[in-house]
C-alpha cells in the first residue's frame, strides 16, 4: 500500500491512477490529516501543490516518522518541501516553467532512473525552483532550465523530482514510478479488481456504519457498479431510486428495473413520464429541454428521497473523468456534486453527505470491477446513454407520439446491431428523430412523413468520436425494417460526421 500525501495539486488523483495502473494500491490522504498508523504503508509520495514553500501558510507536515524510515518520493512541491525544510534553498525561478522539458543529465540513483535516457520528455508545472539541494543530497538529473530536476538523499530511500511523472506527457513517468515503487520500495504488483472490491467494501462499511444511503440508478454502468459495491457493504440500508423520465429506450424502464431486482438491490422504480412530458410541452430549444429535464428530475428524486426516512448519504456513480470535467467546467475545485450533473445537480437543502465509491476509477476499471462482482455482462457492456435520453434525440418539441416513434426506430436499430454481432464493436449508437417531413411513396400512396437519422460512433471517452463504417447490407436491412414497421417514418439517413466538428448527439 502506498500513501500519497496530498498538498492540493490538480494532479494528485492522477498519481493514484498511475500507481494503480502498476497494480499497486494507493491511498490519497490530506497532508493536514495524515493517517495515525503508518505501518501499513510501504512507501510515501508527496504530491505537488499550488502553494510556494516560501509562503506563510504553505503545507508543513511532520515527516519525522516517514523521512529516512520509509521510501519517500517528493514530486514538485513535495521535492521543494524536502529541500526547503532540510537545509536546501528554494527560490522563485527566473523563468516560470510550464509544459514540456527534456532530461539533460541523467544519473541512475540505485535504479531510480532506470530506463530513462538523456532527452526523455518530462512535464513541468512550477514557478519556484530548487536552487540548492538539501543536506546529503546527490544530484541525479537536470533539464535545460532546471538544474535540480531529480535528486536522492544519501543513505536514505528519499527521492525528489521537480517534474510530474504522473501526467501522460512525461513519457517515462510510469517507468519512473515503477522504479521507485517496485525496485526501491519493493512493493508487489498484486492490486487487482478483487482487491479493490475488498478494500472499498470495508471502507464503505466503516464510513457509513448503519446509516441509510440513497442512490439514483440510471441503468448505466457506473451507477449500477456503485450500487453493487454499496449493496455488498451495507445491504438493505442502500435505497436505490430509478426514475423513468419517459425518455428512456423502448421497454428499458421495465427490463432494467427487473435486472436490478434480480441483482438483489433494494430499488424503487418511479414512473414520472407524464410529469416530464407535461413540463416539456412546447419547448424546442435544446438547452431549454435539458434544463427542464434536469429540474423535474431533481423534483422527482427529491420527493422520493424524502420518503426514505432518516437518510444521511447520497451515493453517486461519479467516476474519475466526470470529476475532471465538472471541475474544469465550473472553473474551480469547489464543484462536488456531480452524478446527476448530467441532468442538473442536486439542491443544497438536501444536506446529504456524499459518497462516491468509484471516484478514482476510469471506465475500463469500473467494467473490470463490475465483472468481478459477477454483474450481468449486458449491464456492463451497455452503450452510454445521455441523461436527458431521447429528449435530446427528438429535435424540436417533444410529444408522446414522437417518443414512441423514436423508441420503435431505436429498438430496431439496436436489436439489429446485436443480431449482427456489431453492438460491442460500436461505442455508442442511437437514432435521432428529425423535424423534417419528406415526400415518399408507399404502395400507390403519396406519403409525407418523418425522417430519422441513425448514428453509430467509435470512441474511447466520448470527447472525440468517429462514425462507424457499418456494413451496407446491415444498413439496407435496418432501413427497410424501420420504414416498413414504424408508422410515420418514410426516410432513413446515416450520419457520417465525426466529432469534432460535429458532436455525438444532435442537440
Q: Say if strands 150-153 and 137-143 run parallel, antiparallel, or are unpaired.
A: antiparallel
- Give the chain's length: 507
Q: Which long-range contacts (CB under 8 A, 24 or more apart) does 200-209 make?
A: 200/229, 200/233, 200/357, 201/229, 201/232, 201/233, 202/233, 204/229, 204/230, 204/233, 204/234, 204/355, 204/357, 205/233, 205/234, 207/355, 208/233, 208/234, 208/237, 208/313, 208/355
The β-bridge relationship of strands 353-355 and 489-494 is: unpaired
Q: Which helix (H) or strand (E) holds 213?
A: strand 212-217
Choice between 193 and 345, CB closer to ligand XMP: 345
Between the CA atoms of 193, 194, 199 and 205, what dihedral angle is there, to the nearest 10 degrees? 110
CB of 325 to ligand XMP, least distance (A): 10
Nearer to ligand XMP, 134 or 387 (CB): 387
CA distances from 427 to 225, 385, 387, 424, 430 (A): 19, 11, 17, 7, 11
| Matching residue, cell 414512441 | 404
Nearer to ligand XMP, 193 or 384 (CB): 384
Task: Select which of 84, 126, 164, 341 is catalytic.
Answer: 164
Spell out the residues 6+ positions from residue 346 whose beta carbon is closer than 8 angstroms to its own. Answer: 298, 301, 302, 314, 337, 340, 352
Which one from 84, 97, 126, 166 is the annotated catalytic residue?
A: 166
d(CA 161, CA 93): 16
Cell of 203: 471502507
Query: Cα 388 to chain center, whole Å?
Result: 19
Q: Which residue intervals of 137-251 are DSSP H helices?
A: 173-178, 193-208, 221-234
Give the residue ranges of the annotated binding site for ATP: 218-224
Q: Can you tell me the distance from the alpha carbon of 378 to that of 39, in angstroms, rounded to the nearest whole number?
A: 42
Within 140-192, residue ranges assigned H as helices are: 173-178
Dihedral of CA 348/351/353/356: which sign?
negative
Q: Minimum distance between the CB of residue 86 and ligand XMP, rounded to whole angstroms? A: 48
Distance CA 290, CA 385 (A): 14
Task: Give the residues lining the site for ligand XMP (CB under 6 A).
Answer: 290, 342, 384, 386-388, 428, 462, 499, 503-505
Q: Is 60 a catalytic residue?
A: no
d(CA 286, CA 391): 9
Q: What is the spatial distance between Cα 408 and Cα 126, in angstroms, rounded to a whole number?
A: 55
Distance in Å, CB of 13 to ligand XMP, minimum: 21
Query: Is 240 in the active site?
Result: no
- For the bound state, the minimum distance from the C-beta of residue 245 to ligand XMP, rounded and expressed in Å, comes to 12
Report the alpha-carbon distance of residue 203 to residue 193 in Å, rounded: 15
Of 179 and 318, nearer to ligand XMP (C-beta) is 318
CA 108 to chain centroid, in Å, comes to 36
Positions at the binding site: 218-224
Q: Shortest CA distance to 46 belongs to which of 15, 87, 20?
A: 15
- Which residues partner with 454 through β-bridges? 431, 494
Question: Closest approach of Cβ 342 to ligand XMP, in Å?
Answer: 3
Q: Return the number of the residue (386 or 416) whose C-beta is nearest ligand XMP.
A: 386
Q: Which is nearer to ligand XMP, 63 or 504 (CB)?
A: 504
Q: Which residue, 71 or 430, is less far from ligand XMP as judged by CB?
A: 430
8 A C-beta contact, residue 391 and residue 289: yes
Report the residue closest to ligand XMP, judged by CB.
Answer: 342
Residue of 76, 178, 252, 365 marked catalytic: 76
Active site residue 166: yes
Minimum CB distance to ligand XMP, residue 379 (Å): 17
Q: Which residues form the catalytic set?
A: 76, 164, 166
Amino acid at each position: 500500500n502506498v500513501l500519497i500525501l496530498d498538498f492540493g495539486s490538480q494532479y494528485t488523483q492522477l498519481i493514484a491512477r498511475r500507481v494503480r495502473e502498476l497494480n499497486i494500491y494507493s491511498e490519497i490522504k490530506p497532508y493536514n490529516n495524515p493517517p495515525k498508523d503508518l505501518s501499513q504503508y510501504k512507501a510515501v509520495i508527496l504530491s505537488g501543490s499550488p502553494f510556494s514553500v516560501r509562503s506563510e501558510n504553505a503545507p508543513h507536515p511532520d515527516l519525522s516518522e516517514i523521512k529516512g524510515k520509509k521510501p519517500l518520493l517528493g514530486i514538485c512541491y513535495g521535492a521543494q518541501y524536502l529541500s526547503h525544510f532540510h537545509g536546501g534553498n528554494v527560490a522563485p525561478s527566473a523563468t516560470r516553467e510550464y509544459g514540456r522539458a527534456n532530461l539533460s543529465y541523467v544519473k541512475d540513483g540505485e535504479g531510480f532512473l532506470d530506463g530513462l535516457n538523456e532527452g526523455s520528455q518530462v512535464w513541468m508545472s512550477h514557478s519556484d525552483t530548487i536552487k540548492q539541494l538539501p543536506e546529503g543530497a546527490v544530484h541525479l538529473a537536470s533539464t535545460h532550465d532546471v538544474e535540480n530536476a531529480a535528486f536522492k538523499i544519501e543513505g536514505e530511500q528519499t527521492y525528489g523530482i521537480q517534474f510530474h511523472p504522473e501526467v501522460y506527457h512525461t513519457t517515462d513517468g510510469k517507468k519512473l514510478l515503477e522504479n521507485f515503487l517496485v525496485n526501491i520500495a519493493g512493493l508487489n504488483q498484486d492490486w487487482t479488481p478483487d482487491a479493490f472490491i475488498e478494500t472499498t467494501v470495508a471502507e464503505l462499511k466503516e464510513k457509513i456504519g448503519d446509516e441509510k444511503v440513497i442512490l439514483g440508478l440510471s441503468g448505466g454502468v457506473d451507477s449500477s457498479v456503485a450500487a453493487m459495491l454499496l449493496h455488498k457493504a451495507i445491504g438493505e440500508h442502500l435505497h436505490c431510486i430509478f426514475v423513468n423520465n419517459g425518455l428512456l429506450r423502448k421497454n428499458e424502464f421495465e427490463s432494467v428495473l427487473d435486472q436490478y431486482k434480480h441483482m438483489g438491490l433494494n430499488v424503487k422504480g418511479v414512473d414520472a413520464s407524464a410529469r416530464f412530458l407535461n413540463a416539456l410541452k412546447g419547448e424546442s430549444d435544446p438547452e431549454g429541454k435539458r434544463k427542464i429535464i434536469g429540474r423535474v428530475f431533481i423534483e422527482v428524486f427529491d420527493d422520493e428521497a424524502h420518503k426514505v426516512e432518516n437518510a444521511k448519504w447520497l451515493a453517486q456513480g461519479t467516476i474519475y473523468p466526470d470529476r475532471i470535467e465538472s471541475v474544469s467546467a465550473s472553473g474551480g475545485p469547489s464543484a462536488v456534486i456531480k452524478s446527476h450533473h448530467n441532468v442538473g445537480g442536486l439542491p443544497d437543502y438536501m444536506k446529504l453527505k456524499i459518497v462516491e465509491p468509484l471516484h478514482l476509477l476510469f471506465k475500463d476499471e469500473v467494467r473490470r470491477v463490475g465483472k468481478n462482482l459477477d454483474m450481468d455482462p449486458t449491464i456492463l457492456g451497455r452503450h452510454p446513454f445521455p441523461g436527458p435520453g431521447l429528449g435530446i434525440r427528438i429535435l424540436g418539441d417533444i410529444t408522446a407520439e414522437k417518443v414512441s416513434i423514436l423508441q420503435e426506430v431505436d429498438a430496431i436499430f439496436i436489436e439489429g446491431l446485436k443480431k449482427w454481432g456489431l453492438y460491442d464493436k460500436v461505442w455508442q449508437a442511437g437514432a435521432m428523430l428529425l423535424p423534417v417531413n419528406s415526400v415518399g411513396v408507399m404502395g400507390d400512396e403519396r406519403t409525407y412523413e418523418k425522417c430519422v437519422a441513425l448514428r453509430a460512433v467509435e470512441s474511447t471517452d466520448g470527447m472525440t468520436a468517429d462514425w462507424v463504417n457499418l456494413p451496407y447490407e446491415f444498413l439496407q436491412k435496418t432501413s427497410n425494417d424501420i420504414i416498413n414497421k414504424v408508422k410515420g417514418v418514410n426516410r432513413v439517413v446515416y450520419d457520417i460526421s465525426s466529432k469534432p466538428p460535429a458532436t455525438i448527439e444532435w442537440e
